């Protein structure tokens, strides 16, 4: 990866990348999404076709910096999320930083129409974030900690009760839209893919939640030669 801004053409190794995407000094909600050039969040119903090997590597690093990876059930159903979120090298990196070996996976769902294997194959005990009234099947309650939270502020409060302050939200657009509307995104990490997807797909935020337009501050622009990696912060 090369940095285009603020220091032009500076090659970044893993240490440099980690410094470019640090853990927050306080609780932090970081949204990481990929978009096509024309604003699509998916190709053929999934985000993978928009990424690149560097995008996948960066996703791993962002996960390695987080206490918890927060994901909407729609994304879990579309993308899978079976097994560990990070590989052994990043487990070692977390170990060296004094963090738990794996970030925890927190799945936001009202209907709880989920594959139990997503919970049971997670190496760190996962969390289910659901409404106050949802009836959690016993097998799910045995496999995960249940957080009751109907809106993003309640979700974050519930995660903090588990000591999880560094939140990487991986979407999807429905969940991201609620966090954006609630003004609870401290950072937006956006991979811009060199693809014209055409009309039809969702944008990276979606849903009904109304919001005032909000301006963020550009922290940096990186590139792997094909994709742009943009990091924006709350001003
Ligand atoms: N471009 C990218 O970076 C990116 C990133 C992630 C995903 N994606 C793509 O986006 C698509 C999925 O996105 P999506 O917007 O349809 O789904 P989503 O945001 O991943 O998940 C929406 C689901 O989350 C649950 N949920 C959301 N808010 C809730 C709340 N306040 N309380 C309880 N449950 C809540 C509901 O689950 P239940 O239905 O279970 O009740 C809802 O149906 C997939 O195609 C995926 O590939 C793209």
| Residue extents of the structural domains in the chain | 27-49+57-184+198-207
| CA–CA gap between residue 64 and residue 58 (Å, rounded) | 10
Within 10 A of 88 (CB to CB), how many other CB atoms are there? 9
pLDDT number for residue 10? 84
> Rounded to an integer, what is the distance from CA 202 to the centroid of its chain?
17
Distance 165 CA to ligand 1 centre (A): 21
Angle between helices 53-64 and 88-96 (to 10 degrees): 40
Q: How far apart are CA 102 and CA 106, in angstroms?
A: 13
Query: 12: CA distance to ligand 1 center in Å?
Result: 32
At 182-193, the pLDDT tens digits run: 999 999 999 999
% of residues, the chain, pLDDT over 90: 95
C-beta of residue 179 within 8 angstroms of C-beta of residue 32: no
- Ligand 1 cavity residues, CB under 6 Å: 33-34, 41-42, 45-47, 72-75, 78-79, 108-111, 113, 130-131, 150, 170-175, 178, 204, 206
- Is the previous residue joined to 6 through a cis bond, with omega within 30 degrees of 0? yes
Q: What is the pLDDT of residue 8?
A: 82
Q: How far is CA 127 from CA 9, 136, 141, 164, in A?
A: 41, 12, 9, 11
Q: Give the ligand 1 atom nearest the CA of 35.
A: 1
Query: How many angstroms does the Cα of residue 170 sit away from the middle of ligand 1?
Result: 9
Distance 71 CA to ligand 1 centre (A): 7
Atom of ligand 1 nearest to the CA of 173: 15
Query: What separation in Å is there between the alpha carbon of 52 and the centre of ligand 1?
Result: 22
Nearest Cα residue to 104 out of 59, 75, 66, 140: 66
Instruction: Pick the closest to residue 190 from 221, 211, 162 (CA basis).
Output: 221
CA of 156 to the centre of ligand 1 (A): 17
Atom in ligand 1 nearest the alpha carbon of residue 113: 40
Atom of ligand 1 nearest to the CA of 75: 20
Those residues of the chain that have pLDDT short of 70 are none
Q: What is the CATH number of domain 27-49+57-184+198-207?
A: 3.40.430.10
- Measured by CA distance, the residue closest to atom 41 of ligand 1 is 110
């Amino acid at each position: 990866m090369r940095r285009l801004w603020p220091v032009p053409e500076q090659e970044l190794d893993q240490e440099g990348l980690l410094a470019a995407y640090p853990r927050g000094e306080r609780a932090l909600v970081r949204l990481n999404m990929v978009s096509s050039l024309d604003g699509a969040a998916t190709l053929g119903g999934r985000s993978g076709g928009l990424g690149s090997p560097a995008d996948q590597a960066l996703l791993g690093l962002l996960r390695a910096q987080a206490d918890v990876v927060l994901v909407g059930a729609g994304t879990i159903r579309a993308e899978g999320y079976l097994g560990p979120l990070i590989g052994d090298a990043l487990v070692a990196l977390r170990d060296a930083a004094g963090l738990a070996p794996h970030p925890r996976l927190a799945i936001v769902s009202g209907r709880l129409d989920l594959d139990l294997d997503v919970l049971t194959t997670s190496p760190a005990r996962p969390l289910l974030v659901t409404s106050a009234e949802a009836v959690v099947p016993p097998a799910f309650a045995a496999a995960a900690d249940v957080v009751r939270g109907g809106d993003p502020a309640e979700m974050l409060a519930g995660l903090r009760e588990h000591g999880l302050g560094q939140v990487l939200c991986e979407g999807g657009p429905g969940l991201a839209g609620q966090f954006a509307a609630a003004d609870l995104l401290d950072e937006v990490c956006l991979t811009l893919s060199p693809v014209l997807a055409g009309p039809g797909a969702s944008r990276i935020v979606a849903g009904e939640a109304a919001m005032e337009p909000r301006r963020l501050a550009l922290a940096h622009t990186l590139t792997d030669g094909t994709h742009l990696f943009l990091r924006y912060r709350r001003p």
